[in-house]
Structure 1
Amino acid sequence: MKCSYCQQEIIRNLTFKEILFPLLIKSERCSLCQKKFKKITDPVCPTCFKPGWTVRCDECQQWKKQYPYYDFCHQALFNYNEAFKEWIYQYKFLGDFRLKTTFTVEIQEYFSHKKDWIICCIPLSEQRFLQRGFNQVEAFLQTANIKTSPLLERSIDTLPQSNKNRQERLASPQVFAATDQTIKIRNKKVLIVDDVYTTGRTLFHAAEILQKYQPEKIQTFSLAR
C-alpha cells in the first residue's frame, strides 16, 4: 500500500477483514504525511469555522450584513497551513490526479452524516476544465463515493481566485448560473462543496444563486479553512 500523498510504501499489518476483503483497504497517509495536515479544532467561529474564535468572527458579521436572509453555516476539516497549500499546488495546479485520494477517509466520515443532502460542487469554467483536465472538487468527492448534482455552471470565465488579493476576491462579480437540475432542490437540503475557504466569496455567490430555488437549507463545506 502506498501513502495517498507522498506515494511512499506504507508497511503495516493488515486486519483479518482486510485480508479476506481487500476492497475494504482504504487509502491512507503515512505517519509523516499524517502529521503535516492539522485538523481544525476548537475554538472556531460557529458560522465559518475560522480558528481562534468563540463567537461569530468579523468576516461573518460583514457577510451577514450583505446577506441578512441567508442562514450561513460553513464547516471545514483542515487548517489551511503550508502543508495544505503545497498539496493544493500539486493537486490543483500541477495536475497530480493521484492526490484526489489524499483525504478520502476524512471525507467519507464527514459525508456519512449528510446522507439526505444534495451535494453540489463548485464548477469550473469550460476553459479551466480543458486546461486542468478535471474538476478537483468533483474528483475527490467521486473518489470517496459521494454523489454530486450539477446545480451550478460558470456563466463567465475569470482569473482564478488564487491570482487575486483579498480585496480583488471580495469584489469579484457573480460568475454562476443555475442549471436545469436546480429546480429539484425546492424544500431540500443542499451542501455546496469547495476545496478551500479563504474569503468566502465563491461560496456566497454559489449560495446566492441556489437560494432563489427555495431549498429547505443551504450549508457549505471545504477541505480547508
Structure 2
Amino acid sequence: MLALLCPLLMPAIARCQACDERLERIDWQTCCPSCGQKETADCLDCQYWAQVYPDFVLRHRGIFVYNDGMKEWMHQYKLLGDYRLRQVVALDVKKSLKTFRYDCLIPIPLSADRYKSRGFNQVTAVLEAASIVYEELLQKHVSLVPLATLSRKERLAIDQPFSLRQGAIESIKGKKILLVDDVYTTGRTLYHAAALIHSCQPTSVESLSLAR
C-alpha cells in the first residue's frame, strides 16, 4: 500500500522511490495532444466534446496515467481518507502549474454532503500542500453517485451539477482561468465546469488533473 511504502509525507519534499516507481507520468509524445488519452493521437473523447461544445476548446493536461499505482493512491487518499497522502503529488502539481499562464485557478468543488463525509476536498488539499493560491468560485449542491461506479454512457448523461458562487462573474470575466480536478476520465465533470465558466466571458479556460 502506498501509505506504508512512502515514509516521506512532509511538505515540500520529493516522493520516495517506492511510490515514484508506481506512478507513471503521461508521455505527451504518444498520447492525444488535447487531453492526454494514452496512446491515442486523435481520441474519441475530444471528438465527442468538440461536437457537444463547438464554441470552445478545453485544452487539458494530466500529470499521471491512471494506472494501478495511481488508482491505489487515489483509493487510499480520497476514499479511505488518508489526508497525509496529498503530499505524494504536491510537488508534481506545483511543477505542472508552472507550464500554465493563468489569472485565476479554480478547483472542482465537492457538495457539502460529500465534503462532510470525507472531511476534505481532495483537490484543494493538494493545492494547499503545494502552497498554490486558488479561488472557490464554483459550488456543487448535490452529491452524485461516485463516478467510478458509473458507465461511460451514464457519466456523459449527468446534468450540470455546478453553479457560480456570488461574485464569480466579476472574478472570471476577462481572465485566463485554470480548472483543477483529480481525475479526467470522460471529461464530463471538467466540461460541465468549463461551460459554466465560459458563460462569464473569460479570456480562456484550460484544465489540469492529477490523473488521466
Distance 2:115 2:12 in 1: 28
**Superposition deviation, residue 67 in structure 1:** 0.3
Give the residue type in structure 1 aligned to 2:175. Answer: K
Q: 1:66 to 1:142 in 2, by over 3 A?
A: same
Change (3 A) 1:115 1:59: closer
1:31 aligned partner, one-letter code: Q
**Pairing 1:29–2:54 present:** no
Deviation sequence 1:50-102 (CA, Å, 0-9, x none)? 12123x31111111000000122100111000000000000000000000100
Pair 207,116 (structure 1): closer, same or farther in 2 beyond 3 Å: closer
Percent same amino acid at aligned positions? 37
CA displacement at 1:220 relative to structure 2: 0.9
Q: CA deviation at 1:5?
A: 7.2
Distance 1:53 1:157 in 2: 32
Gap regions ≥5 residues in structure 2: none
Between stretches 151-160 and 113-122, larger displacement belongs to: 113-122
- 1:67 has 2:35 as partner: no
- Distance, in Å, in 2 between the alignment partners of 1:200 and 1:76 is 11
Partner of 2:176: 189
Shift of 1:111: 1.5
Shift of 1:4: 7.8
* Mapping 1:178-217, distance limit 5 Å: 178-183=164-169, 184-217=171-204
If asked which structure has higher relative contact order (CA below 8 Å, sep 6+), I would say 2
Gaps of 5+ in 1: 11-22
Q: Secondary structure at the match of 1:68?
A: coil
Greater Cα shift, 180-189 or 82-91: 180-189
- Once the two structures are TM-superposed, the CA of residue 181 in structure 1 deviates from its matched residue by 3.3
Scaled by the length of structure 2, what TM-score is found? 0.92
Residue equivalent to 2:76 = 90
CA distance in 2 between counterparts of 1:78 and 1:162 reads: 17
**More displaced 10-residue stretch of structure 1: 32-41 or 114-123:** 114-123
| Residue 38 (1) aligns with residue 37 (2) | no
Name the CA distance, whole Å, in 2 between partners of 1:4 and 1:112: 27
1:124 aligns with 2:110: yes
Cα 1:205/1:31, change in 2 over 3 Å: same
Cα distance in structure 1, aligned partners of 2:101 and 2:48: 31
Q: Does the Cα contact within 8 Å between 1:5 and 1:29 map onto a contact in 2?
A: no
| Superposed counterparts of 1:100-179, under 5 Å | 100-114=86-100, 116-179=102-165
Deviations 1:103-138 (A, max 9, x none): 122111111233643111110000000000000000
- Matched-pair contact (CA < 8 Å) for 2:12–2:130: no
Q: How many angstroms apart in 2 are the aligned matches of 1:27 and 1:39?
A: 18
Aligned to 1:20: none
TM-score (norm 1): 0.87
Q: Which residue of 2 aligns with 1:16?
A: none
Q: What SS class does the counterpart of residue 148 from structure 1 fall into? A: coil
Once the two structures are TM-superposed, the CA of residue 9 in structure 1 deviates from its matched residue by 6.4
Q: Distance in 2 between matches of 1:68 and 1:5?
A: 46
Match for residue 6 of structure 1? 5
One-letter amino acid matched to 2:157? A
Larger radius of gyration: 1
Question: What is the root-mean-square deviation in Å for CA atoms of aligned residues?
Answer: 2.0
SS of equivalent to 1:221: strand
